[in-house]
């Protein structure tokens, strides 16, 4: 029992020091370094390795071995990790079941893509669903994105600002929330009038899946590092 809680504390300490979820600016830098800053080209290249599931969602799954760790130990570590990482109004834990060994959380990546050209402006948020299934000696992480959540401001683009600046008076703007399903977005759909926005949203979504998997793996591995001593 003592080792279980020590492992959990180590995971929590590692989290608070190193594993805070990335800010959007940091994620964009990471994505550019990994895939380049030509978003449409990068999304087209990535399309060769990705496909939507039967629900038209983008789903990533990874099984992470945790040799020598019990289901109970892993649950304690991951419970700490999720509690610390998903603790605001936008990122929340939806299910936390110790008996079944299941934790489900909804994350939030704000302003992953946008556009202000023309008459309208667009801002894209992504809310991935992260599920962890826990067994003795291993965990399975499933990361799913069902759609892009888009804030559209009609009249909020550059043309509205120009018209206002030329003395035409302030533009009448109207804000609406839209849901862009992935099967209607590039590169999963070739005909997409918002191709550049969709491309960057995909690259950022994919990059965040890498970050999320790495941070969960880091939490369980550091929590089981074995640095603790029995005699103290």
DSSP string, 104-137: EEE--EEEEEEE--SS-EEEEEE--EEEEEEETT
Could you tell me the CATH number of the domain that includes residue 99?
Answer: 3.30.530.80
Q: Is residue 229 domain-resident?
A: no
* Distance in Å from the first CA to the final CA of the chain: 16
Query: Per-block average pLDDT, block size 10, for the chain (232 residues)?
Result: 43 39 89 95 95 96 94 93 81 92 93 87 95 97 97 75 52 88 96 96 96 92 54 50
Domain extent at residue 164: 2-223
Indicate yes or no: pTM above 0.85.
no
Domain count, the chain: 1
Question: Residue 232 domain-assigned?
Answer: no
- Asked if residue 170 is part of any domain, the answer here is yes
Distance in angstroms (rounded) separating the CA atoms of residues 62 and 64? 6
Residue 191: inside a domain? yes
Domain assignment of residue 53, yes or no: yes
């Amino acid at each position: 029992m003592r080792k279980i809680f020590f492992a959990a504390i180590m995971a929590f300490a590692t989290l608070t020091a190193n594993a805070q979820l990335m800010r959007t600016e940091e994620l964009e830098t990471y994505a550019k370094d990994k895939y380049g800053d030509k978003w449409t080209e990068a999304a087209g290249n990535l399309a060769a390795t990705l496909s939507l599931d039967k629900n038209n969602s983008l789903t990533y799954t990874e099984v992470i071995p945790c040799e020598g760790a019990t289901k109970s130990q892993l649950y304690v570590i991951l419970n700490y990790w999720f509690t610390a990482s998903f603790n605001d109004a936008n990122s929340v834990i939806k299910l936390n079941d110790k008996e079944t060994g299941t934790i489900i959380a909804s994350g939030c990546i704000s302003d992953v893509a946008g556009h202000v050209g023309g008459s309208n402006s667009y801002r894209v948020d992504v809310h991935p669903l992260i599920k962890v299934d826990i067994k003795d000696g291993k965990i399975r992480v499933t990361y799913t994105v069902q759609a892009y959540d888009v804030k559209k401001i009609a009249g909020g683009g550059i043309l509205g600002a120009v018209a206002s600046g030329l003395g035409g008076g302030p533009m009448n703007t109207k804000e609406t929330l839209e849901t862009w399903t992935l099967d209607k977005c590039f590169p999963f759909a070739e005909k997409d009038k918002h191709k550049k926005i969709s491309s960057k949203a995909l690259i950022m979504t994919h990059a965040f899946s890498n970050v999320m998997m790495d941070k969960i793996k880091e939490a369980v591995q550091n929590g089981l590092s074995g640095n603790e001593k029995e005699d103290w």
